[in-house]
Amino acid sequence: MMQLLYLDPGSGSYLIQVIIAGVLAVLFYFKNTWNWIKSFFIKTAPKNEEEKNESSD
C-alpha cells in the first residue's frame, strides 16, 4: 500500500475529514428526515435534466 501513497495528503487533512464526516452525518440525518417528512405532503419532483444527463450518458 505504501508505494501507492505518492501524494502528500497534507497534515490536518485527515483530521478535517474525520470532523467533516461527523458533522455531515448529522446534517444528512436532518436533511433526510426533513425530506421524509416533506414526502408525505409534496410529491417529489424528478431530478433536473443536467443531473440526469450526467449520470446517464
Partner 1 sequence: MNQAIKPHAASFRDPSGFVYEKDGILYRFVSSAYQSAYDLLQSSGLADELIKQKKLLPFTEINENHTSRADWYKTLQPQLLPFVSYAWEWSFDQLKDAALTTLSICSAALKKGMILKDATHTNIQFVNGRAKLIDTLSFERYTEGEPWVAYRQFCECFLNPLLLAAYKGMEVHKLLLSYPDGVPAASTANLLPFKTKLKPVVYLHVHLHANLSGKADVSTTKQTKKVTLKNMEQIIQSLHDCISSLTLPTQQTTWNNYYDETILSDQYLSEKKKLVAAWLGEMNYTSVIDLGANEGEFSLLCKKEALVVATDFDSACINSLYTKLKAEKLQHIIPLIVDLTYPSSSLGWANAERTAFFKRKTFDLGFALALIHHLAIAKNISFNQIALFFSDICNELIIEFVPKTDPKVKGMLQWRKDIFELYTEEQFEKSFGEHFLLKKKTAVPGSERTLYYYQKKQ
Per CB under 8 A, residues contacting partner 1 are 1, 3-7, 9-25, 27-28, 51, 54-57
State the Cα–Cα distance between residues 26 and 47, nearest whole angstrom. 24
CB of 2 to partner 1, least distance (A): 10
Q: What angle do CA 20, 5, 1 make, to 5 degrees?
A: 105
CB of 43 to partner 1, least distance (A): 22
Query: Which residue number, 19 or 37, has a Cβ lying nearer to partner 1?
Result: 19
> CA separation (Å) from 13 to 1, 9, 56?
19, 6, 33
Query: Which residue number, 9 or 46, has a Cβ lying nearer to partner 1?
Result: 9
